[in-house]
Amino acid sequence: MPVGGGAVAIFSVWDYVVFAAMVLGAAVIGLFQAIRGRKGSSSTEFLLGGRQMTAVPVAMSLTASFMSGITVIGTPSEAYIYGTPFWLFAFSYTIMSTISAEIFVPLFYRLGITSTYEYLEMRFNKLIRVIGTSMYIVQTALYTGMVIYAPALALNQITGLDLWGVLVATGVVCIVYCTLGGLKAVIWTDVFQMVIMLSGFMAVITQGAVLQGGFGRIWDDNYKGGRLDTFSFDPDPLRRHSFWTIVVGGSVMWTSMYAINQSQVQRYISCRTMTHAKMSLYVNMVGLWVTVSLAMFTGLTMYSIYKDCDPLTNKDVGASDQLLPYLVMDILAEYPGVPGLFVAAAYSGTLSTVSSSINALVAVTVEDFVKPMWPSLMEKQVSWINMGLSVFFGGLCIAMAAIASLMGGILQAALSIFGIISGPLLGLFLMGMFFRCANSTGGLVGLITGLIITLWVGIGAQVYPPLPTKTKPLPLSVAGCDADEINITTALPAWSSSVLPTSDPSVRPVLANSWYSLSYLYFCPLGMLATMTIGLIISTISGGNKQEMIRQELFIQKGDFICFRCSKDTENPDSNLIEKVESDNTYGLDNPHFSDMELDIKEKDQDKITKL
């Protein structure tokens, strides 16, 4: 077994069997949900699962969507090259979950919306809603293309799996169960896929620990290699990863992904009550902790094994994103079917994210474009449109994989896309939710300005990547490689490593080492602040909000914050019961699209109050 250099084994028959079984299993679960819910053919059933989902499956679906193939492959490589600062995202997940659950969930539940961007028309105007939806569609299509392409390319180079054959197969499976089963099929398939993904991580960690003689040896190797230097309080905004960039910038970025991104919001507003919606976010938070911990420890295991013979420097692989597939085929090939399990884990992440994106793209297109243009459509017609759009967006995401091939290291590039587009959108939402003076003119100018600024810095960073003095990759060694095993391989086509800049430092423009070197985690806060600042200034200059009647439910209310709710509950021990009955017009505790069964429950609660 060539641990530390040389060629590795290829897929065995059993690996193909395991991989195929996973893909078929996902399809079967999706189809089962489609058949089971065929009587519920309404648009609400298709897009929101009838708003009857519960916290745990939704939480697992939220986590599985986060755990794309990019996460499965990219995060261990991050730990291998840069060490454990990425672990600090656990703080960001905590902050994000709290903000999303306590501020955004009450607002969206109170409004009973299907598309997140419906709020923008309610608060501003239809033009801003259309622009916001269009930005989301572009962002999601490009990101999904990257999710499909990046893992497939890395695995193709290592396992020999046909690149475009697997890409098309992945897209077809997602299209089938998204088209037939809607959100319920997506969520329950995500639950299955999350189990597969975590199993893949555990297989690598367990075998690595066996080879290295225990977890203590792995930890010690990483300590000596400088990988455990997690906390850096350097305030330099150009520093790629520090405590401040991750906790401050990362929290804002993840908030934009969970609080206003349709793919995530659509899941928790499908819950039957607000309690389930909030709980799904907090359970998801724990899932994110577990996920990032397993991914990081997988990377540390990889470093312990290759600390003296780095496959990247030794040219055994052409890019950092191939490191984990290389490790899997290196240490697990002697166990037939186990490499197939890992590949299944990577593709589970891909299937989960792609299916989520397709369902969310259908939702915003139907709610923001189709229904406003043809308000008289029958429910059956809308159902056929939903299915047709699922096929269309599935094909579009596969096509976008070609554009994704032009990006750099997958993990950073993926998060950069979210920061560039979601930052201005988050600023627009916050401006509308907290500032009554904000008007449509300010919102439009602020959004466009914020987007221009983030595109400027984001594209500049892609063309002129920061120098190693700011990214700070840790040293890697080939001292333990056998001289006869030193390979010369051709780098991946149109795919560059994220370790070093791809441009010549001598010809870099002045802004390359300052503005374009801004940490990618600050793209989102930059866009958010630019949008809010410019938007509020323009709103003030243009006379503020002149509407005589502003719907109070469009703003964050004091009762939405947990501290006020706890105080209220303390004063009135029966307030929870009373609020549940009166929630539609006050605090929005319950989904306004309840089924008759839930309305019966409300009546029973009212009887209890009467008896009291």
Query: What pLDDT does 488 receive?
Result: 39
Q: Which amino acid is at 502?
A: T
Which one, of 459, 608, 438, 611, lies nearest residue 532 by Cα?
Answer: 438
Mean pLDDT of 64-75: 74
**CB of 538 closer than 8 Å to CB of 446:** yes
Query: What pLDDT does 294 receive?
Result: 92
Mean pLDDT of 174-201: 72
CA–CA–CA angle 528, 355, 458 (5° rounding): 30
CA distance 529 to 442: 13
- For tokens 């186990």, what's the residue? 338
**68 and 215 fall within a common domain:** yes
User: Averaging pLDDT over each range in 169-173, 238-242, 534-538, 568-572, which range is the top one?
Assistant: 534-538
CA–CA–CA angle 445, 446, 450 (5° rounding): 120
Query: What pLDDT does 338 receive?
Result: 83
Query: What pLDDT does 8 receive?
Result: 60
Of 176-185, 213-222, 366-375, 462-471, the range with the lowest mean pLDDT is 176-185
Q: Is a pLDDT exceeding 90 seen at residue 531?
A: yes
- For tokens 């193909």, what's the residue? 16
**136 and 271 fall within a common domain:** yes
Q: Which amino acid is at 445?
A: V
Q: Is a pLDDT exceeding 80 seen at residue 236?
A: yes
High-pLDDT (> 70) share of the chain, %: 73
Mean pLDDT of 397-402: 72
**132 and 278 fall within a common domain:** yes
CA distance 343 to 334: 15
Q: Which amino acid is at 105?
A: V
Query: What pLDDT does 567 receive?
Result: 44
**4 in any annotated domain:** no
**551 in any annotated domain:** no
Residue 203: partners with Cβ closer than 8 Å, 6 or more residues away: 332, 338, 341, 342
List Cα–Cα distances, 459 to 111, 199, 416, 473, in angstroms. Answer: 36, 37, 10, 22
Of 315-319, 473-477, 501-505, 530-534, the range with the lowest mean pLDDT is 501-505
Q: CB neighbours (10 Å) of residue 559?
A: 14
Map residue 432 onto helix, strand or coil. helix
**39 and 87 fall within a common domain:** yes
Q: Is a pLDDT exceeding 90 seen at residue 598?
A: no
**290 in any annotated domain:** yes
Confidence of residue 583 (pLDDT cuts 50, 70, 90): very low
**CB of 317 closer than 8 Å to CB of 491:** no
How many domains are there within the chain? 2
Phi (first) and psi of residue 436, to 5 degrees: -70, -20
User: Averaging pLDDT over each range in 134-143, 164-173, 286-295, 573-582, which range is the top one?
Assistant: 286-295
Q: Which residues, listed in sequence order, are joined to residue 241 by a DSSP beta bridge? A: none
**353 and 408 fall within a common domain:** yes
Phi (first) and psi of residue 351, to 5 degrees: -60, -45
Query: What pLDDT does 541 receive?
Result: 92
Mean pLDDT of 335-363: 77
Q: Is a pLDDT exceeding 50 seen at residue 587?
A: no
Q: Is a pLDDT exceeding 60 seen at residue 228?
A: yes
**CB of 136 closer than 8 Å to CB of 117:** yes
**573 in any annotated domain:** yes
Q: Which residue has the higher pLDDT, 527 or 174?
A: 527
Q: Is a pLDDT exceeding 90 seen at residue 500?
A: no
Q: Is a pLDDT exceeding 80 seen at residue 220?
A: yes
**382 and 285 fall within a common domain:** yes
High-pLDDT (> 90) share of the chain, %: 23
Residue 243: partners with Cβ closer than 8 Å, 6 or more residues away: 85, 88, 231, 232, 233
CA distance 579 to 248: 35
**199 in any annotated domain:** yes
Query: What pLDDT does 63 receive?
Result: 79
Confidence of residue 177 (pLDDT cuts 50, 70, 90): low
Query: What pLDDT does 355 receive?
Result: 74
What tokens appear for 377 in the block?
Answer: 């459509």
CA distance 39 to 21: 29
**CB of 356 closer than 8 Å to CB of 177:** no
Range of the domain at 255: 13-492+507-541
Q: Is a pLDDT exceeding 70 seen at residue 530?
A: yes
Query: What pLDDT does 377 receive?
Result: 79
CA distance 530 to 612: 53
Query: What pLDDT does 315 receive?
Result: 84
**369 in any annotated domain:** yes
Q: CB neighbours (10 Å) of residue 5?
A: 24
Q: Is a pLDDT exceeding 60 seen at residue 497?
A: no
Query: How long is the chain?
Result: 612
Mean pLDDT of 349-366: 78
**185 and 38 fall within a common domain:** yes
Confidence of residue 597 (pLDDT cuts 50, 70, 90): very low
- 417-474 pLDDT per residue, tens: 878 899 999 999 999 999 988 999 999 999 999 999 999 998 888 888 877 777 778 8
Q: Which residue has the higher pLDDT, 521 or 161?
A: 521
Residue 472: partners with Cβ closer than 8 Å, 6 or more residues away: 82, 239, 240, 241
**146 in any annotated domain:** yes
**CB of 171 closer than 8 Å to CB of 23:** no
**114 and 239 fall within a common domain:** yes
List Cα–Cα distances, 319 to 313, 329, 477, 607, in angstroms. Answer: 10, 16, 16, 66
Mean pLDDT of 135-151: 80
**578 and 530 fall within a common domain:** no
Query: What pLDDT does 391 receive?
Result: 82
| Domain containing residue 227: CATH number | 1.20.1730.10
**76 and 167 fall within a common domain:** yes
Q: What is the mean pLDDT of the chain?
A: 77
**7 in any annotated domain:** no
Query: What pLDDT does 9 receive?
Result: 63
Q: How far is CA 551 from the centre of its chain?
A: 32
**CB of 496 closer than 8 Å to CB of 326:** no
**223 and 284 fall within a common domain:** yes
Mean pLDDT of 242-259: 92
Mean pLDDT of 23-32: 73
**351 and 456 fall within a common domain:** yes
Residue 491 has what DSSP assignment? P
3-state secondary structure string, 576-608?
A: HHHHHHHHHHCCCCECCCCCHHHHHHHHHHHHH
Residue 475 has what DSSP assignment? P
